[in-house]
Homo-oligomer: A and B are copies of this chain.
Amino acid sequence: MNTADTGFSLDPRLAADTVVLTDLPLCRLCLMNDCRFPWLILVPRRHGVTDIDRLIPADREALWCEVDQAMAALRAVAPLDKLNVGALGNIVRQLHVNVVARRETDAAWPGPVWGAGKAEPYAPQALTDIRARLRNALSPR
């Protein structure tokens, strides 16, 4: 933990719905525990920030860089037809960016994933597998 993390804790609803993969320089990177969609959530470790434009410029730059990393990791581990990127936060106000691998055959296609039915948690082995593959895809080469 460095000074930038002071006061940060993951919103309890995000904590309940996700598993933590790793801390990137700015964001806590989480995997949504919903096997219907390979779905990453980036949460800047900045206390009290709810909107992207409230991050200082250096953090904003880091955020976009980490969104790029998340997209690359999903591309590496999941077949996908489309990437969806969204920062909404109308319900969970803690700033977070969703990066979701979409298939034309998935449960919500072509609608957004938000509010689409009920999450289906990964089976234990499948969760172990996708976490390992994502962590591997995120490792520096």
Q: Which A residues are within 8 Å of any B CB, using their own CB?
A: 50-53, 60-61, 64, 67-68, 71-72, 75, 82-91, 93, 102, 109-112, 114-115
Contacts and interface: CB of A to CB of B under 8 A. Distances in A.
22 contacts: A51-B71, A52-B67, A52-B68, A52-B71, A52-B85, A53-B72, A53-B83, A60-B68, A82-B89, A82-B90, A82-B93, A84-B90, A85-B85, A86-B86, A86-B87, A88-B112, A90-B109, A90-B110, A90-B111, A90-B112, A111-B115, A112-B112
Tally of this chain's copies: 2
A110 B83 contact: no
Nearest to A109: B90
Contacts of A114: 111-112
Given A64-B64, A111-B114, A114-B112, A71 B53 contact: yes
How would you classify the secondary structure of chain A's contact residues: helix, strand, loop or mixed?
mixed
Contacts of A112: 86, 88, 90, 112, 114-115
Given A52-B68, A53-B72, A85-B86, 17 more contacts: A52-B71, A52-B85, A53-B83, A82-B93, A84-B89, A84-B90, A85-B85, A85-B87, A86-B86, A88-B112, A90-B110, A90-B111, A90-B112, A111-B114, A112-B112, A112-B114, A112-B115
